Every structure is written in C-alpha cells, then in structure tokens.
Amino acid sequence: MGFKRILIDTNICIDAALIRKPFVTNALQIIDLSQSGKVEAFVAAHSFDTIFYVLRKKVSVQLIYALLNEFRSVFSIAAVTQDIIDRALQLEWPDLEDTIHYEAAIAVGCDAIVTRNPRDFYEISIPVLSPAQILADFR
C-alpha cells in the first residue's frame, strides 16, 4: 500500500529495548525502516514515560535514557494535546492508551498504526497493522 507515515505503538519500542523474543526481530526491522528513511515513523509523546516506567524495573536509568534518546533520534514525536485527550475520552474505548495512540496518529496524518495488538483498536479510519504486515509492505 505504500505507507509513508506510521505511528509505532509503545509495545514495539519495548520489544526492541528489552530484546523480547520472538518480537524483537520485527521491532528492530521497523526501527530500521525509520532510520533508513523508507517511512516516517512516529511515537506518541506519552509512550516515552510509559517506556521509562516499564524499563526502570529491568535496566538502569542510564540505559533507559540512552534507549529513549536513540528512539528520539529515530522517530518523530506525535504530540498528545488537550484536543487529542478530549477526542480519546469521547471514544470510550476499553484501553485509553490505544485511543490516545489512535487520535495522535490521526492528528499527525499517519497512514497506519503498527502494533502487536491490532484488535485493541475500534472503529478506526486508518489501517492498524501488525509488525509483520507493515514489514511485508516494504518487501
């Protein structure tokens, strides 16, 4: 389909950071797509604190900041504004984090959202793809 702008769900970043098998391979390939300029990949602003929170239980703070700086150099940031929160709250999905991702992706004009949990997104106007699906698009 030729996706140009995608939003990366938090779980993909955590897969790469924690080298979670079997997900790490796809996560690193998605990061490579962004680094190589084949796609403009966004991470929602609120993902950074979630990543920090999850990683602090497993690795040093210094390593977390190094990883977050690396993510920041690879990904663009999708802002999470008052309007995005308001729209997310109106949708009343079971998982607010997913709703915020969706609204942030729409706000920055993403063509798709990439997540390991596509079924968590409801009534959407853009494709929600698994890592394998987005990678297949670039093969």
- Provide block-wise average pLDDT over 10 residues at a time, the chain (139 residues): 92 96 97 95 97 96 97 97 97 93 97 93 90 92
Q: How far apart are CA 64 and CA 34, in angstroms?
A: 20
Taking the complete model, does pTM exceed 0.85, yes or no? yes
Query: Are residues 110 and 76 in contact, defined by beta-carbon separation less than 8 angstroms?
Result: no
Contacts of 119 (CB under 8 A, 6+ apart): none
CATH number of 5-137: 3.40.50.1010
**Burial of 24 by CB count in 10 Å (0-12 exposed, 13-18 middle, 19+ buried)?**
middle
pLDDT of 88: 96
